[in-house]
Amino acid sequence: MSSTPAVPKYNEDLQADIETSVNDSPKVKVHRVEWAKVLAGAPVEVTLSLGSGLKVLAGSPVEINPSLGSGFKVMDVNEWAGRWKTSAEFPQCLACGGSNTKEHAFTQTWCRGKRVWESESLCLDCHRFSWRGYRDPDFKTPEQYEKERWGALVAGLQG
């Protein structure tokens, strides 16, 4: 009788510290644009400018949905985050410590048993973004691995 080995979880058995940061806007670029539109609120002739040089006309549609009247939808924070779920692994906000968070971005890459991942959540209490990231110290992408392999081969032929 054989048992299958447990599938490793991305946030267990870490070889380095998890990097963290708290931000007023998301790191994910597409969500940064949407966040600026959500903050702009109701339609008025005002331009909102964020530190990144991004300018958004107040009341700009956050979502384009042809099934809604004009096809454009202006959203508030709760409606915008309504489709996301709380991260089971990292439910706490790094800014206020609350657990009323919604994870809007998560990416992970595994290569030869090594991993890199990023997670970002919006706190619905303080409206700040908690970002967490991790990278195994010896993580390499397939491209980096092949470049080193071929570099060593060429160096061996020249030596």
Cα–Cα distance, 9 to 2 (Å, whole number): 21
Cα–Cα distance, 103 to 121 (Å, whole number): 4
Ordered per-residue pLDDT tens for the chain, 159 residues: 567 778 788 999 999 999 999 999 999 877 888 888 787 764 433 344 445 454 545 556 666 666 766 667 777 788 888 889 999 999 999 999 999 999 999 999 999 999 999 999 999 999 999 999 999 999 999 999 999 999 999 988 886
In a domain, 88, yes or no: yes
In a domain, 6, yes or no: no
116 lies in which domain range? Answer: 19-158
Given this model, what pLDDT does residue 121 score?
96
In a domain, 8, yes or no: no
In a domain, 91, yes or no: yes
Tell me, what DSSP letter sits at residue 157?
A: H
In a domain, 121, yes or no: yes
**Type of residue found at 89:** E
Spell out the residues 6+ positions from residue 130 whose beta carbon is closer than 8 angstroms to its own: 20, 21, 22, 90, 92, 93, 94, 95, 101, 120, 121, 123
In a domain, 5, yes or no: no
Q: Spell out a b/e string for 79-112, using b for 16 or more CB atoms within 10 Å of the CB, else e.
A: ebbeeeeebeebeebbbbeeeebbbbbeeeeeee
Given this model, what pLDDT does residue 49 score?
47
In a domain, 1, yes or no: no
Given this model, what pLDDT does residue 79 score?
84
**Type of residue found at 20:** T
Cα–Cα distance, 137 to 21 (Å, whole number): 19
Using left for φ > 0, alpha for ψ between -120 and 50, and beta otherwise, residue 79 falls in alpha
The tally of domains found in the chain comes to 1
Cα–Cα distance, 121 to 132 (Å, whole number): 9
In a domain, 9, yes or no: no
Q: Please give the structure tokens belonging to residue 107.
A: 């990416």
Cα–Cα distance, 157 to 24 (Å, whole number): 53
